Amino acid sequence: MKISWRTIVLWSLPALVIGFFIWQGAFAQTAVNMGNNAARTRMSYGRFLDYLQADRVTSVDLYDGGRTAIVEAVDELNNQVERLRVDLPANSPDLISRLREANINFDSHPPRSEGAVWGLLGNLIFPILLIVGLFFLFRRSSNVPGGPGQAMNFGKSKARFSMEAKTGVLFDDVAGVDEAKEELQEVVTFLKKPERFTAVGARIPKGVLLVGPPGTGKTLLAKAIAGEAGVPFFSISGSEFVEMFVGVGASRVRDLFKKAKENAPCIIFIDEIDAVGRQRGAGIGGGNDEREQTLNQLLTEMDGFEGNSGIIIIAATNRPDVLDSALLRPGRFDRQVTVDSPDIKGRLSILNVHARDKKLSNEISLDAIARRTPGFTGADLANLLNEAAILTARRRKEAITMREIDDAVDRVVAGMEGTPLMDGKSKRLIAYHEVGHAIVGTLVKEHDPVQKVTLVPRGQARGLTWFMPNEEQGLISRSQILARITGALGGRAAEKVIFGDAEVTTGAGNDLQQVTGMARQMVTRYGMSDLGPMSLETQQSEVFLGRDLMTRSEYSDEIASRIDAQVRTIVEHCYEDACQMMRDHRVVIDRLVDLLIEKETIDGDEFRQIVAEYTDVPEKERYVPVI
């Protein structure tokens, strides 16, 4: 462990002070003893007077202003001269006269000045050492965020400032969000060439709010703006305004905008603005006054009485539903840019960006990877290629192949690969379960095609069946939802038909949750039931700060019973269809299970080829679920 010299000084200060006082006392005592000529024997004052009267005293040296005397006297036993110390009383005015009358040599020695000097130093050195120690202590704590040395800096903004931000990210490094890039490129152009816009009466936007799910590239776009704009750039997180002391957040907002006005035109980027911009007055018992005061100050600085011309605020959040309405109005955040998950074209562009520094084999098709990863964000795709590169290095290969890509997709979606199952009843049951999913996905017309079926465990799943959509699905039809419900019930249907009700396992627990959720949404949200085209539940399913906690139900108990009945009807109908498919295609299912147990993984093309050998139904005449 490395210890700095400041720490050594601070820890050694008490020992130095104590040692100094001990040394001072010892030195003072030694000085007195030396000044008194180191007399070994003491003599009482009365005996001294007896010796004086008997003419045995030869000389007297007076010290300490006449309070101590060193006497040379002749011993009455051996007639030798001895040096004796005598403590004189305070009132002995006739002593000098008696010494003169007895014709005894005496001398008076003034007090030594060293004691006063050392006493003065002793009184000064402790305060000096204390002041020096406190100086080093506060200097050290000033480097610690929130330390005692920063007690006077609570109200200062913690924003990182760059006159010309060198983020290393430009708009060319951002892909898959072309619409958002276009909006933000216009803001950069406004900063660089404002005359192009002001000539026609346009004014610079005050704020741009980036909205989108996590990982879609909101912060990356902010870095690109900082790298492209060439103007002073302030970056801060919403949580850095919040402090335990009242009024600190508002003070930091004021300080941030004061610095920004001094460097205008400039850009302020506030990441995760929902930490400070939540709705005011929402919640049981009232809101957080400190956070609300911070938000009020932010609203005033963005568009208040004084204004802030030349300052553009860019904020990012993935929870726009919790933001205060005053923050979202024009004049504060003039633009709300949605940064959503990319489509297949966007995913291909993102893969091209992240594949620049990856060594890919010739067999790699980025287009195939883009098609296989619907719903992936930019962060997910970057993580996918990084996992593939790690697997390539672990397997000691020179370039990334499709095998590493496939394994990386499985790892990102389902988790780490587990230990393969041993042959036995459990493995055969799982094989029937997964083949049940896949056979329904192959025989139902509106279902997504099977990509692969595997018995290799990943995460909590003992086996997996992957489906790959043919195209981007912005809208989903009723028949597609029914097909997905039927496919999700295929595993449970296979267990029931093959092994019987007594051998049905808990493996379909997650499938049943998905099935119930889709069926309930069909009834309550999408109007796809006998209840008619009514939306009985809102999109907001989470309770926000108590605002929605005490709201009344949007439908009566009778409607609730009818909803439950409709959900049950949909699920039971799809389950019966899945069971019937298991009975009608038992031969091909057994063949596929034996092959799956042998190979542990069957890809989609091979699976469909085997199914086609046993079923001669053309694709256009395949099963279409109808209720």
| Model confidence band, residue 278 (pLDDT cutoffs 50, 70, 90) | confident
Domain with CATH 1.20.58.760 in the chain: 425-621
pLDDT score recorded for residue 223: 83
**Which residues of 34-165 form beta strands (DSSP E)?**
41-43, 57-63, 68-74, 81-87, 105-108, 160-162
Instruction: Please give the full DSSP string across 212-229, using - where no structure is assigned.
Output: --TTSSHHHHHHHHHHHH
* Domain at 425-621, CATH class: mainly alpha
Q: Where in the chain is the domain with CATH 3.40.50.300?
A: 160-338
- pLDDT bin (cut points 50, 70, 90) of residue 38 is very low
Exposed, middle or buried, 184 (CB in 10 Å: 0-12/13-18/19+)? buried
SS3 at position 248: helix
The kind and range of the H/E element at 237 are strand 233-237
Residues annotated catalytic, as ranges: 434
Residue whose C-alpha is closest to residue 435's, from 505, 478, 491, 355: 491
Residue 389, pLDDT above cutoff 90: yes
How far is it, in rounded angstroms, from Cα 539 to Cα 555? 15
This prediction's pTM: 0.68
Phi, psi of 489 (to 5 degrees): -85, -5
Fold of 160-338: Rossmann fold (3.40.50)
Class of domain 36-112 as given by CATH: alpha beta
pLDDT digits (tens, 9 = 90+) for 550-602: 445 677 888 889 999 999 999 999 999 999 999 999 999 999 999 999 888 89
Report, as an integer, the average pLDDT of 441-456. 89
**In the predicted model, is pLDDT for residue 4 greater than 60?**
no
Of 226, 164, 228, nearest in space to 193 by CA: 228
Given this model, what pLDDT does residue 543 score? 47
- Helices then strands (H, E): number in the chain? 21, 14
The predicted structure's pLDDT at residue 568: 95
Q: What is the mean pLDDT of the chain?
A: 79
Note the pLDDT of residue 582.
93
What does CATH list as the number for 344-414? Answer: 1.10.8.60
127-139 confidence digits (pLDDT tens): 777 777 777 666 6
Band (pLDDT 50/70/90 cuts) for residue 416 is: confident
147 neighbors 222 (Cβ within 8 angstroms):
no
Three-state DSSP at 84 gives strand
DSSP assignment of 417-480, as one string? B-PPPPSSHHHHHHHHHHHHHHHHHHHBTTSPPEEEEE---BTTBSSEEEE--SS--SS--HHH
Burial of 307-346, coded b for 16+ CB within 10 Å and e otherwise, reads ebeebbbbbbbbebeebbebbeeeebbbbebebebbeeeb
CATH 1.10.8.60 domain extents, the chain:
344-414
Give Cα separations from 116 to 28, 32, 122, 126 (angstroms).
10, 12, 10, 16
pLDDT grade, residue 490 (50/70/90)? very high
From CA 627, how far away is CA 479, in angstroms rounded? 9
Q: Where in the chain is the domain with CATH 3.30.720.210?
A: 36-112
Structure confidence at residue 406 (pLDDT)? 87
- CA torsion sign for 165, 166, 170, 173 is negative
Cis ω on the peptide bond leading into residue 110 (within 30° of 0)? no
What 3-state class would DSSP assign to 70?
Answer: strand
pLDDT at 31: 45
